Copies of this chain bind each other. A is one copy, B any other.
Amino acid sequence: MTYCVAMRLSSGLVFASDSRTNAGVDHISTFRKLHVFQQDGERTLVLQSAGNLATTQSIISLLLRRSQDAERPNLLNAPSLYEAASLVGETVREVIQRDSEAQQSGSTTDFSCNLLLGGQIRGEETRLFHIYPQGNFIEATRDTPYFQIGESKYGKPIIDRVLNYDTPLEQAMQCALISLDSTLRSNLSVGLPLDVMIYPRGSFSSAQQYRITEDHPHFSAIRKGWGEGLVSIFKQLPPLAL
């Protein structure tokens, strides 16, 4: 499994992904799930993926290769993020159809995947899309400023409690890290390292990308602060009176 979260806020975008993939419990690997398509000063697109690894790797490979070919529509020349999301959706359909057509009858392999595409293209506001296995997609709004894919439930309560559209980017990233920490602790199929990125609105820059490993000093500090804080507020709750 996987856990990715992306947030679209008034001051920009925040992305965070784990990197664990597993096929059963005895085939566990580390693969990056956060991919950036960048033209400095012009556009920044971030694609996060969850689901069948063969499917998501094929999609990323095709999108990367095609972005070298200026003759055809691709992520680096799409005139808007809506058209970029359509392109990703078409590629999802193409890969899933190709791979599932060859499936032996009676086999039930799940070729599906979910993707998050967020970013900004000059001339547009920041935008964030959740692209489904069917290739269709929905867009984040002020009312619903974040999307999750993969093992999303463990880390949802903390986001629901602290995030809104006007949360500053740094606080939103803290929230994403706590959400990932909760998921890491409760589900073995989600694992370190994390790939995270902050995109300040209007920057058209992918400079704020970071990889967070087990011994990352800030992540260790907030894991400790959060864990101890939770236990301490738990102990300070009013005594049980039913």
Contacts and interface: CB of A to CB of B under 8 A. Distances in A.
Interface of A: 151, 153-158, 160-162, 170-171, 173-175, 178, 182-183, 185-187, 196, 198, 208, 210, 212, 217-218, 221-222, 225-227, 229-234, 236-242
11 contacts: A153-B153, A157-B157, A157-B185, A160-B185, A162-B231, A174-B240, A218-B241, A222-B238, A229-B229, A229-B233, A230-B233
A234 B232 CA distance: 13
B233 A170 contact: no
Contacts of A160: 185-186
A192 to B, nearest CB: 15
Given A161-B185, A162-B234, A230-B161, A210 B175 contact: no
A-side interface mostly: helix
A157 B170 contact: no
Contacts of A226: 233-234, 237
B170 A212 contact: no
A193 B239 CA distance: 20
A9 to B, nearest CB: 14
A191 to B, nearest CB: 16
A152 to B, nearest CB: 9
Contacts of A157: 154-155, 157, 182-183, 185-186
A242 B230 contact: no
A238 B178 CA distance: 12
Nearest to A198: B242
Contacts of A186: 153, 156-157, 160
Given A156-B186, A162-B231, A171-B234, 9 more contacts: A158-B234, A160-B185, A161-B230, A170-B240, A171-B240, A222-B237, A229-B236, A229-B237, A230-B233
